Amino acid sequence: MGNKKIIIFDTTLRDGEQSPGASLTIQEKLIIARQLANLGVDVIEAGFPIASKGDFEAVKQIAMSVKGPSICGLARACDLDIDRCWEAVKYSDKPRIHTFIATSKVHREEKLHKKKEEIIDLATKAVKRAKSYCDDVEFSPEDAARTNLDFMCDVVKAAIRAGATTINIPDTVGYSEPDEFGNRIKYLLDKVPEAKNIVISVHCHNDLGNAVANSLAAVQNGATQVEGCINGIGERAGNASIEEVVMNLITRKDYFKADVNIKTQELYKTSKLLSNLTGLDIQRNKAIVGANAFAHEAGIHQHGVLASKNTYEIMTPEDVGWKGENIVIGKHSGKHAIAALLEEEGFKPDKDQINQITAKVKELADKQKSVERDDVIAIARDIMLELSEGDQFVKLEEFTVTTGIGMMPTASVKLIVNEEMKIAAGIGDGPIDAISNAIWNIIGSSFKLEDYHLKAITGGTNALADVSIKLSDMNGNLFSGRAVDEDVIKASARGIIKGINRAICFGNKIHPQNK
Ligand code: KIV
Ligand code: ZN
């Protein structure tokens, strides 16, 4: 008998984006989705279309342009969610609707206030409605791992009868232990014979650190789809890490007797890209993709590895696409070296972008003795994620800031708003606060600055400043802006203006004024 095929379902752009601190723009989600397709994941859960206009647009654009994987959207078990989800995923060659309703006693009674029969009824109706739009329908009994086993089987039976082609069993709160979770899958397959004709999936959270082990225990007991996120990001402690699940299945093929479609050489690049775009760092000792994952420190290990790699290495860095950070950039570096470095980091700039990045790197190299890898990444991100000319409703034209001991920091700013010049001044607790207030004095009160984050890319007083901001509109939609510059005040102003432009692109109106 041949190996069984395990479907890899990536939810980095949905559950992963729910990670505290991670919020991606549509453009960033598209870049990640394209790389997930290169990696070879079978399904991309691109978002939760009803959640916001931005989520809807991201799922729709990914469905329109990313080929290869099925493109899936999430929907609660109600008509409005399912209809909206279909509106977004229908552009894909392989659309999927994933609908869910909670089934555990605590969720049923405390959150939904529904009886068991009502849950079965809602699940049935939801799957039928999704099925009226597309063949590929996934159903999840949320908090399945804490649901009474027989009730979970009853809900699953009803969902299959209604047309679900994949049943996903989530450990929503990361409560299970591996044996227990594996047995739950076995019980389901024994008690619901029709479950053998569809895909049984698992979706494990990592609250107790068991997400990968639980997913693998489920595979051993008959699950044929695993859901997870790159770098293990996700709600709270995250989801099962895709790279860990995949490398377990491949490295221990003798044990799991399973195959996956993943091009493992793309794993490292995908991990780096996600970290570069979300700003969520990868822990150094993280399995598979951490900086130390293939570093041998102890003398005895080094000696062994030099004698034979098999002594301490169960997989090679090349297997996961880790080539080392060999490229050093200086003022004589050309665009090929810069493109190669960016390729290692998962970025694929086009010709025009690489010319702009190279020019900016050379400019920086002229001013600083050395240009670090992180400088190049930050410059590339800044240029590649710049809004198109048509989307720049607000442009920064000029600014001045005065600050010092014994005086109130003061800024004046000149913006071009919808092709009209606007000037205003502002004071603040510091120079960044002052320029921010000057900008708001022009833009008005349509938005609120929710978050401001400043990072020096590399050491030294001449380091590039990397500013990321978040602002909200009147409806609570969040927009982010990120900018890099040697001048921290300029980076801050540009970051805020990027966020404002994104909010305007989204349909928000502003009423600019001179003050
Ligand atoms: O963790 C969970 O239960 C989920 C569901 C929507 C599948 O993310
Ligand atoms: Zn989840």
Q: Where are the domains of the chain?
A: 4-278, 294-322, 329-384, 390-506
Q: Residue 125: which of 115, 136, 113, 137 has the closest Cα?
A: 137
Ligand 1 atom, smallest distance to 168 CA: 7
Q: What are all long-range contacts of 210-213, with beta carbons under 8 Å and residues at least 24 apart?
A: 210/174, 210/176, 210/177, 210/178, 210/181, 211/171, 211/174, 211/238, 211/239, 211/240, 211/241, 212/240, 212/241, 212/244, 212/245, 212/248, 213/178
**Mutation test residue for ligand 1: of 11, 15, 82, 202, the one with most atoms within 8 Å of CB:** 15
Task: Note the CATH architecture for domain 4-278.
Answer: Alpha-Beta Barrel (3.20)
Does the global pTM surpass 0.85? Answer: yes
Is any atom of ligand 1 closer than 6 Å to the C-beta of 100? yes
Q: Residue 17: which of 48, 43, 63 has the closest Cα?
A: 48
Position of tokens 């003022």?
Answer: 331
Backbone angles phi, psi at 288, to 5 degrees: 75, -50
Is any atom of ligand 1 closer than 6 Å to the C-beta of 15? yes
Tens-level pLDDT at each residue, the chain (515 residues): 789 999 999 999 999 998 776 778 888 999 999 999 999 999 999 999 999 888 999 999 999 999 999 999 999 999 999 999 999 999 999 999 999 999 999 999 999 999 999 999 999 999 999 999 999 999 999 999 999 999 999 999 999 999 999 999 999 999 999 999 999 999 999 999 999 999 999 999 999 999 999 999 999 999 999 999 999 999 999 999 999 999 999 999 999 999 999 999 999 999 999 998 988 889 999 999 998 888 766 667 666 777 777 777 789 999 999 877 667 787 788 899 999 999 888 899 999 999 999 999 998 888 877 788 889 999 999 999 888 888 899 999 999 999 999 999 999 999 999 999 999 999 999 999 999 999 999 999 889 999 898 988 876 777 889 998 888 888 887 788 889 999 999 999 999 999 999 888 888 888 887 76
Burial, 369: exposed, middle or buried (Cβ in 10 Å; 0-12, 13-18, 19+)? Answer: exposed
Predicted pLDDT of residue 297: 64
- The fold adopted by the segment(s) 390-506 is Double Stranded RNA Binding Domain (3.30.160)
Q: What is the DSSP string of 305-340?
A: HHH-GGGT-SS-GGGGT-------B-TT--HHHHHH
Report CA(191)–ligand 1 centroid distance (Å). Answer: 23
Is any atom of ligand 1 closer than 6 Å to the C-beta of 142? yes
Name the token pair of 141: 């009994």
Residue type (1 letter), 24:
L
d(CA 227, CA 205) in angstroms, rounded, equals 10
d(CA 277, CA 269) in angstroms, rounded, equals 12
Predicted pLDDT of residue 476: 82
Relative to the alpha carbon of 202, which ligand is closest? Answer: 1
Name the token pair of 481: 């802006």
Residues contacting 202, CB < 8 A, separation 6+ = 168, 169, 170, 171, 181, 185, 214, 215, 218, 219, 223, 225, 226, 227
Report CA(183)–ligand 1 centroid distance (Å). Answer: 20
Report CA(79)–ligand 2 centroid distance (Å). Answer: 21
Residue type (1 letter), 80:
L
Strand arrangement of the beta sheet that strand 465-472 belongs to: 448-456, 465-472, 478-485
**Mutation test residue for ligand 1: of 97, 100, 201, the one with most atoms within 8 Å of CB:** 100
Report CA(211)–ligand 2 centroid distance (Å). Answer: 11
SS3 state of residue 432: helix
**Mutation test residue for ligand 1: of 11, 74, 201, the one with most atoms within 8 Å of CB:** 74
Q: Residue 123: which of 97, 159, 90, 89 has the closest Cα?
A: 159
Burial, 350: exposed, middle or buried (Cβ in 10 Å; 0-12, 13-18, 19+)? Answer: exposed
Backbone angles phi, psi at 167, to 5 degrees: -115, 125
CA distances from 495 to 92, 393, 469, 482, 501 (A): 33, 14, 6, 5, 10
d(CA 156, CA 153) in angstroms, rounded, equals 5
CA distances from 107 to 111, 112, 168, 403, 491 (A): 5, 6, 17, 55, 45
Q: Residue 244: which of 219, 280, 222, 215 has the closest Cα?
A: 215
Q: What are all long-range contacts of 403-410, with beta carbons under 8 Å and residues at least 24 apart?
A: 403/430, 403/431, 403/434, 409/433, 409/434, 410/434
Predicted pLDDT of residue 407: 93
Q: Which residues pair with 47 in a beta bridge?
A: 73
Report CA(319)–ligand 1 centroid distance (Å). Answer: 31
Residue type (1 letter), 145:
A
Ligand 1 atom, smallest distance to 15 CA: 8
Name the token pair of 159: 């969902």
Name the token pair of 351: 């010709």
d(CA 80, CA 409) in angstroms, rounded, equals 50
Report CA(172)–ligand 1 centroid distance (Å). Answer: 6
SS3 state of residue 28: helix
Is any atom of ligand 1 closer than 6 Å to the C-beta of 172? yes
| Ranges assigned E (strand) in 393-497 | 394-402, 410-417, 420-427, 448-456, 465-472, 478-485
Structural contact between residues 441 and 427, judged by C-beta atoms closer than 8 angstroms: no
SS3 state of residue 471: strand
